[in-house]
A and B are shown apart, each in its own frame.
Chain A
Amino acid sequence: MDMMERLMNLDRRWLYLLVGLAAVIPILAPLNLPVNVSKPVQDLYDRIESLEPGEIIMVSFDYGPSTGPENDPMGDAIIMHALARDLRVVIIALYPLGGVTEAREELERCVGDLDPPNGQIESTRFPGKVYGRDFIYFGYKDGGLAAMRLMSDNMHEVFPADFYGTPLEEYELGREVQGYDDVAFVMSLATGIIGEWWANLVNAQFGTPVAVGCTAVSAPKYFAYYRAGQMFALLAGLKGAAEYEYLVSEKYPQLADITDSFIYNAGKGWDVQSVVYSIITLFIIIGNVAFIVERRRQKRGM
């Protein structure tokens, strides 16, 4: 059996080992690879920079732990960017398999530990920012499309209380947000179809500006919505997260320090991604070279 044949019949477990090593090595020896920013990501950054202090944005956590490595850094970056710009942030979750957990974790990662029912409401990372006035977490709701339609002007019907069980009326930010007209735009951090619903239901029917941070798997489809103007910005996968994180860190060094203190951020993930991606690209090229060589040999042999 010659080299090419041995290569073609290689036990897949050797490939798994190679992928595993490619994932481990950049974590032990970080590469700090550069990212080049694309227009869909720049659009989100520019929109946030253009808003006046005090304006409200809504961030919807529509993903679960399975896509955390892609969506978590997006959530971190946008929450911190908004707070650094003195914008106010309303957080909700619509994804049934883990959205509520992800939203709470990312919020606490960005602002510090919270316990509003017991009076722990001030952010340790953003001193002066207070839960209920500068940011608030409405919690998770079942219903998907029904919840999104009802939220258009009946937010309190969908979320009578915040995540911790306190009636929204008791918070200044809770009282102010009654529907989509009260927010500058909605940012959906999505895995799968919920991001599309924000574009083809909320934006189409209520005119609310929508931006989406989606997983790389969904990204090709979301480009069609972005191109049609149904979403004004798009963060596509870990690359999109890394680009946005880079933009925010460049302008706000204090946020760069916070991000660098995380065990995982988009920059670290991008390093590893690039190495593993290169390995798999080589797999494809080598596999096809071997296939073409084998086919030519067979033709000559005929």
Chain B
Amino acid sequence: MYKKQFPLLLAFLGGAIPIVSFFITTPGDRLKVTTDTLQDWMLIIAGAALLLGVVNLFQINLRKISTRAKGWPNALWLLLSLVIAAILGLADAFDTSVFGIWGGDVAFQWIQDAAFKPLQSTMFSLLAFYVASAAFRAFRVRNVEAGILLSAALIIMLGVNPYAVKILPFLPDTTNWIMNIPNAAAQRGIIIGAALGAASFSLRILLGIERSYLGLQKGE
């Protein structure tokens, strides 16, 4: 029982506390103190949860290296760069120097400038090329709905383009109207629908009906 029912009870309590404190908001009372304490704990647990992937990464890549699987040198580079960045990061966190010569904060900042930022930025910048290619090769007016989509896209794209605005000065107002009226209306419908769905799914989790996040199947 303690392996299945107790976690479900903890999930219920973990969710009930912020919900009840939402309605009862007198400062200084026990409920507020409990809620604040729980929130304080969440900062630490969330930090630990973020790092769960590190263990997984090590498991998968060490296996690749030890079995000399296809692409094992890349697994080695991954783990090496992880270890180096982590050492520099921990040196910064605990305010120590690296090998007694390089300040932790300076070293950690350096690897962010030299590796983290350029790599992350460039990975995402590839999307610009893919989007351009997709716009030319795949975006076709095959039916009425696609025609509406294309028309809206073209008005928006021309409305923010200074060259087009010079020729058709009414475009910015049209673009603003589309964004604030029909687009906002559709997004509002999506937001309301998705929010109702999310709220009902949250209720299912709190009541223990939905248990897959604990690795339990239906009926377990």
Residues of A within 8 A of B (CB): 8, 10, 12, 15-16, 18-20, 23, 33-36, 38-39, 64-69, 96-98, 101, 141-144, 146-147, 149-150, 153-154, 157-158, 165, 205, 219-221, 223-224, 226-228, 239, 274, 276-281, 283-288, 291-292
Contact = CB atoms under 8 A, between A and B. Distances in A.
A157 B135 contact: no
B135 A284 contact: yes
Given A281-B161, A288-B141, A276 B133 contact: no
Contacts of B6: none
Interface residues on B, range: 35 or more
Contact of A227 (B22, B160, B184): B184
15 contacts: A15-B132, A19-B128, A66-B123, A97-B120, A98-B120, A101-B112, A101-B117, A143-B39, A146-B39, A147-B43, A157-B40, A224-B188, A226-B180, A227-B180, A284-B153
B39 A149 contact: yes
Interface string B32-70: 000010011011101100100000000000000000000
A149 B124 CA distance: 31
A284 B154 contact: yes
Given A19-B128, A38-B172, A277-B160, A223 B136 contact: no
Contact of A149 (B18, B137, B172, B187): B18
A203 B156 CA distance: 29
Interface in B72-92: none
A292 B112 CA distance: 49
Q: Is the interface of B mostly helix, strand, loop or mixed?
A: helix
B161 A288 contact: no
B11 interface: no
Contact of A66 (B120, B136, B179): B120
Contacts of A205: 22
Given A66-B120, A223-B179, A281 B43 contact: no
B135 A283 contact: yes
B99 interface: no
Most buried by A among B136, B161, B183, B187: B136
B117 A98 contact: yes
Nearest to A158: B43
A144 B49 CA distance: 12
Contacts of B157: 277, 280-281, 284
A283 B140 CA distance: 11
B165 interface: yes
Contacts of B188: 224, 227-228
A285 B155 CA distance: 12
Given A66-B121, A142-B47, A146-B39, A39 B162 contact: no
Given A15-B133, A141-B43, A284-B136, A65 B162 contact: no
B213 interface: no
B139 A157 contact: no
Given A66-B120, A149-B39, A292-B141, A278 B46 contact: no
A146 B95 CA distance: 27
Nearest to A285: B154
Contacts of B132: 15-16, 18-19, 276, 279-280, 283
Contacts of B207: none
B176 A39 contact: yes
